[in-house]
Structures are given as structure tokens and as C-alpha cells.
Amino acid sequence: MALRWAILDGRLHDRAGFTCGVPALDDYLRQRAGQHQREGIATTHVLIDDAQPARILGYCTLSAAQLLLCELREPDRQRLPAYPVPAVRMGRLAVASAERGKGHGQALLGHAVNRALSVRQTMGVRVLLVDAADAQAAAFYQAHGFRPTAARALTMYLPIGPA
């Protein structure tokens, strides 16, 4: 099993065969991910196995975003100018039901962090944002260093700039 990342390609990847048990996440992949990618709204990154490259094991979406400075915790605001903080938003993260418990969620999150760090090398990005779906998802992100924003506990950020 050789896992790798790819940008969603509707001609190659089996979107209809993906199910994670959350209808909104399944529907997004099937019906809107390709359109959002074509329109420059978000990119969908899929985790696949080289042995079955059409089968999607999990996915995450990334897009440009910003966060108001007042949404950061006080220590994270230090030395920042008084305008919105540039960010990458991970809009969705889903693992196929049959693939749960194999570490794919953590791998997807790691991929999103790596992509944000890569973008940071060519343009300003200070945080990775995520809107946790519920308290369980928020606990997952918090365990990986994400911090709740000042206004909404389920909107979280991970600083990717210098401390």
C-alpha cells in the first residue's frame, strides 16, 4: 500500500464511491468539489492508494481566507499589524468510513499544514483555519494544536508563523 496525495480529478477519482457517513461531506465531494475547483473557490486534495488510484480514502479542501486580528488570542496578536490576518482555510476533512482508525485523518491534517507552510514561502499566510463540525471534531483539532477563535469556539486556528 503506497499512499499519495492528488488534486481531485473527476475523470480519475471515484467520487460516487466515497462515503464517510456524513451526508454533507459526501454530497460536497460528489456535487460541488469539482465546480469549486474549476471556479477557484477551493482545491480538493484526495488521499489515494497507488494500488487503487480511483478509490478516495479521504479528502480535505483548502482555500484562501483571512481572520480578523481580534479573533486571535492575545499572545498570537503580538507584532502583527492591525488588519486581517492572512490564512488558509481547511473547509472540509473527511475519511472514508471503511478507512477509519488507520490514521488517515491525521495524515489529511498534516497534508493541509504542509500545504499552508508551502504557500507561506511564496505569499503571506499566518494561520490555518478550520470550522469544526462539532465538539468531537474540535477536540481532534485541539489535540493537534489548534486554538479556538475569540468569537466562535468551533472556528479554530493553528499558527503557522513564527511564535
42-58 confidence digits (pLDDT tens): 999 999 999 999 999 99
Between 54-58, 77-81, 150-154, the lowest mean confidence (pLDDT) is in 150-154
Domain count, the chain: 1
Amino acid at 106: Q
Rounded CA-CA distance 112/160 in Å is: 11
CATH at residue 84: 3.40.630.30
Rounded CA-CA distance 158/151 in Å is: 16
Residue 71 DSSP code: G
46 is in which domain, residue-wise?
A: 3-159
Backbone CA torsion sign across 67, 62, 3, 99: positive
Residues 6+ positions from 115 with CB-CB distance below 8 Å: 45, 62, 88
Average pLDDT over residues 111-128: 94
pLDDT tens digits along 125-138: 999 999 998 899 99
